[in-house]
A and B are shown apart, each in its own frame.
Chain A
Amino acid sequence: MSKAQTAAAQATAPAAAERSRASGRDAQHSRAVRKLVLLAVLVLVPLSVFMLPVTILLAAGLLPTAVAFITDRDPDKLAALTVGPLNIAGMTPLALSLSGMTADYRGSMELLAHPINWMVIYLAAGMGWAVYFAVPPVVARLLSLQSEARIVLLKRRLTGLVAEWGPAVTRQPHGLSAVNEDDAEAAEAKPAAA
């Protein structure tokens, strides 16, 4: 491999790594959706046999959570985990109402016919989305402040080390490997580029 080719390969290595990460995430997402469908089929089908009203209610009421699951690219599916609990909380009154009604699908259909019930369900799911979007920036800001305070402390420690041991303490000690994530990824990309 010539020098120019090697330089070109090294320049495109980060973009290639990003593309490879993206394609990895897509594959994961597809797998997650397939799992959801499978789960839905495996849970809802038997449930519909024995508890048809609840199944109908769940199938209709948990749609916001399913949408959150499908649209979320994060492999941890945190959107669904955030929307889901409030979505379920919004469906609780309906579930409780269902317990006092006839034990067939007509009870659930009756509940689902009222727009107020849909409003409650979707309001609750909406709250879930609000939490999903509002909480992370606040957390990020708080953690940033914490990091800044930690940085001050750590820098003070560095100054103390240099004051005690001199500038030579800044050299790499024997046996300590690279701890920086970027360094580790760059180290992975180099063999691929070569």
Chain B
Amino acid sequence: MAEAKEARKEAEAKRGEDSSLVVVGRNFKLNPAAPLPDFDSPSGPAFQVRDLQEGRSCYAIVCHPTAVPRLAEAPALRRVEDPGLTKLLDFGPVAMPGERRRRMAMIFEQPGGPRLMREDGSGLPKLSEENIVRLFLLPMVAALRELTNRGLYSGAIRPTNIFWRDLSQSAVKLGEFLTAPPGAQQPLLFETLDRAMASPEGRGPGQPGCDLFALGTSLMVFWLGGNPLKGAADSQVLRARMERGSFNTLLGRNRPPALLVEPLRGLMNDDDGERWRLDDLEAWLEGRRQSPRQPKAVLRANRVLDLGGVQVTSPAMLSMHLQRQRGVALQLIDKMEIDRWLRRSVGSDELADRVDDAIRSARSGRLGSVEDRLLARAAIALNPSGPISYQDCALFPAGYGYALATRMMGGGELAPLAAILQLQLANYWTSIQSGPRAEFGAVLRGLDSVRGYVERKGLGHGIERVFYELNPGLPCLSPLVIDAYAGDATALLAALDVAAETADRAAEPIDRHIAAFLAARAPRVNDRLYAVLDGAPRDPKRLVAMATLLAEAQDLHGPRELPALGAWLGRKLEPAVERFRSRSLQDSVRKALAKACESGQLNQIVAAIDNPAVLARDEAAFEDACRQYALTEAEIAEQEDRVRKPERIAAGAGRQVAAAVSAILGTLLVAAVVVLGAGAL
């Protein structure tokens, strides 16, 4: 009895606990009351997760509402099995207790050990070079090989994102890299020089060589026992790297390690072409030693250029500072100072000519301001391998989508990103790259395919459409549904159905974001409907188009029933009902509409209010009614005229009647006379 009581208590406690757990996917329950700060990410806090199926130790990172997780790559990473990589188990939007807005939660298999290095720089064990190779380098190379073979890019290799696989520290594994855009959380020390010049969110997926650079830098930090440049300003670090090279800057006055010097120099080479590939590193690990490579000399000037107080020593540095010192830069360009500096101090006529061409082509353009165009093109010409910089944006073409997503989710300024697209700066950037690069083709095609949307301002287009096209999986940001984290058309319609219950009377179920989202995520919906959405607020055609759009989306993507959304549409469609001229027909349409709204089948709503045959018949009947009205009015006027002027009737019909009466009387009299006369005879 006591045992049964105890079992009942345990079961109740479990049920109580279970009710507070947040379900993610089918097999996981997140415990909001059990945070795991050791696994926190800059993207969001970590929580304990129960694996209902396999009982693994897992944790979830619940991303901030404005985070930009790499949802498009997540399905591919779920299939990756490598002990050197943190496995993604599941992901999905969750509503944390006390919060209305859902957030993306990504569930990972929990590493057995702690981070290699904590955020404050502590925790790195002091190991011999051989142990570093065995415990760190070997597993990381295997992990990178797995990623490279699958065409995936990490962009998050750094000591604070590497974990021990177990408490015995037998090997390391790379932490998760899906909760933020590639490179967005990397300190610039761990990015190549060019990627370091871009905004973190604009770095985009890089080449495998960029991950290798990060690996090399992490290796150096591991060997040094910490980051010697911690606390230094990013601009100082970048300047030092540009002037002395990344390897020398990080090594500082230390003697290079005897064993690791080769891979360190090879991996930290600032020249993309000279940097070690994964094959080189694997060959070195197998014992095939290669001669150390000196970093290639950076193109530098023999005379410093003063750019508003910034001492510029190389074209790449000038490119980086053009936007930040735009006033001075524009003056120097106008006075041909930069041209002279490039030719005489840098000693490159070719570079100077390229910059001249860029300036000339910028002056002949028409979109945007000439200063912005000029600085953007000049920066690209000065450092082709660097990012595109325009106003306060600095990004690579492959990072455009992420940069746009970060600003859109975070409520930032979007005009510079729209301008980058309209000015085709990515095309110019690609044209200036040396040597063919197959990966640019796909990126350019993607950007070219969305450029037209920016130029069209109507619903279903605009920068919102670009955002949804380039970021599949990210949710609709309409204020109506933003809390639902609706990542596809089905979720959007379900969210609209929920929003319908509390929506403001004046609100409509389609706004700029929803239209753009549907256009991108439900492409089979008739896109001619979007053109009609920009009409006047009470334009019946616009309202019918809105209903038709939602109905087609429901037909293609579900859910099967949307009664609240149907009722919302029904309230909005009164002007469409008033299209019917006949009042009795309007009443029957209203009844049919009400019935259709109750059913939650939006196509029935459209059928009730937009039957072309019924509309045509109604219009014809209306024309007939107008004719009848006009004829009736004319007849009334005629009759009233008769009443007003009886003398005309008298003169007309009256006298005719008098003539008839006289004829009848006369005939009767004649007959009477004849009969009487015959009788007398």
Q: Is the CB of B626 within 8 A of A139?
A: no
Quick one: closest A residue to B646, CB to CB? Answer: A140
Quick one: closest A residue to B680, CB to CB? Answer: A96
CA distance A168 to B623 in the complex (A): 10
- Any A CB within 8 A of the CB of B655: yes
- Any A CB within 8 A of the CB of B584: yes
> Which of B163-171, B299-307, B669-677 is found at the contact surface with chain A?
B669-677
CA distance A90 to B582 in the complex (A): 65
Shortest A85–chain B CB gap in Å is: 3
- CB-CB under 8 A from B628, the residues of chain A are 157, 161
- Any A CB within 8 A of the CB of B324: no
**B643 contacts which of A78, A147, A158 (Cβ < 8 Å)?**
A147
Interface string of A52-66 (1 = CB under 8 A from B): 000000000000000
- CB-CB under 8 A from A192, the residues of chain B are none
Shortest A30–chain B CB gap in Å is: 20
Q: Is the CB of B658 within 8 A of A164?
A: no
Quick one: closest B residue to A175, CB to CB? Answer: B627
Q: Is the CB of A165 within 8 A of B583?
A: yes
Shortest B646–chain A CB gap in Å is: 4
List which B634-681 residues lie within 8 A (CB) of chain A: 634-640, 642-643, 646-647, 649-651, 653-659, 661-663, 665-667, 669-670, 673-674, 677
- CB-CB under 8 A from A170, the residues of chain B are 626, 629
Q: Is the CB of B653 within 8 A of A83?
A: no
- CB-CB under 8 A from B626, the residues of chain A are 165, 169-173, 176
CA distance A143 to B655 in the complex (A): 13
- CB-CB under 8 A from B673, the residues of chain A are 89, 92-93, 96
Shortest B261–chain A CB gap in Å is: 90
Q: Is the CB of B669 within 8 A of A89?
A: yes
- 8 A–B pairs (Cβ distance < 8 Å), ordered by A: A74-B651, A74-B655, A85-B667, A87-B666, A135-B655, A136-B650, A161-B628, A180-B634
CA distance A10 to B653 in the complex (A): 32
- Any B CB within 8 A of the CB of A82: yes
CA distance A52 to B346 in the complex (A): 145
13 further contact pairs, Cβ within 8 A, besides A96-B673, A154-B639, A155-B636:
A82-B661, A82-B662, A86-B666, A89-B666, A90-B669, A139-B650, A140-B649, A141-B646, A143-B649, A147-B639, A151-B636, A162-B629, A164-B584
Q: Is the CB of A83 within 8 A of B654?
A: no
- Any B CB within 8 A of the CB of A115: no
- Any B CB within 8 A of the CB of A131: yes
- Any A CB within 8 A of the CB of B630: yes
**B630 contacts which of A88, A93, A179 (Cβ < 8 Å)?**
A179
Q: Is the CB of A131 within 8 A of B631?
A: no
- Any B CB within 8 A of the CB of A5: no
- CB-CB under 8 A from A180, the residues of chain B are 634, 637
Select the residue from B633, B655, B670 with max chain A CB neighbours within 10 A: B655
Shortest B597–chain A CB gap in Å is: 24
Shortest B662–chain A CB gap in Å is: 4
- Any A CB within 8 A of the CB of B57: no
CA distance A140 to B652 in the complex (A): 9
- CB-CB under 8 A from A128, the residues of chain B are 662, 666
Main secondary structure of the interface of A (DSSP, over half): helix
- Any B CB within 8 A of the CB of A112: no
Q: Is the CB of B654 within 8 A of A135?
A: yes
Q: Is the CB of A164 within 8 A of B649?
A: no
- Any B CB within 8 A of the CB of A13: no
- CB-CB under 8 A from B669, the residues of chain A are 86, 89-90, 92, 124
CA distance A174 to B629 in the complex (A): 13
- CB-CB under 8 A from B636, the residues of chain A are 151, 154-155, 158
Q: Is the CB of A131 within 8 A of B639?
A: no
Quick one: closest A residue to B583, CB to CB? Answer: A164
Shortest B185–chain A CB gap in Å is: 64
- CB-CB under 8 A from B658, the residues of chain A are 78, 82, 131-132, 134-136, 139
- CB-CB under 8 A from A151, the residues of chain B are 636, 639-640, 643
Shortest A13–chain B CB gap in Å is: 20
Shortest A87–chain B CB gap in Å is: 8
Q: Is the CB of B665 within 8 A of A131?
A: yes
Q: Is the CB of B632 within 8 A of A161?
A: yes
CA distance A144 to B665 in the complex (A): 25
Asked if A158 meets B632 with Cβ closer than 8 Å, knowing A89-B670, A143-B653, A151-B639, the reply is yes
Q: Is the CB of A136 within 8 A of B670?
A: no
List which A22-72 residues lie within 8 A (CB) of chain B: none
Q: Is the CB of A85 within 8 A of B633?
A: no
Quick one: closest B residue to A155, CB to CB? Answer: B636
Quick one: closest A residue to B637, CB to CB? Answer: A180
Q: Is the CB of B655 within 8 A of A132?
A: yes
**A139 contacts which of B623, B640, B657 (Cβ < 8 Å)?**
B657
Q: Is the CB of B677 within 8 A of A96?
A: yes
- Any B CB within 8 A of the CB of A166: yes
CA distance A150 to B640 in the complex (A): 10
- Any B CB within 8 A of the CB of A191: no
CA distance A83 to B662 in the complex (A): 7
Asked if A86 meets B665 with Cβ closer than 8 Å, knowing A81-B659, A176-B627, the reply is yes
- CB-CB under 8 A from B665, the residues of chain A are 85-86, 89, 127, 131
- Any A CB within 8 A of the CB of B581: yes
Question: What 5 A-B pairs have minimum CB-CB distances, sorted nearest first?
Answer: A136-B654, A85-B666, A173-B626, A136-B650, A89-B669
Shortest B66–chain A CB gap in Å is: 51
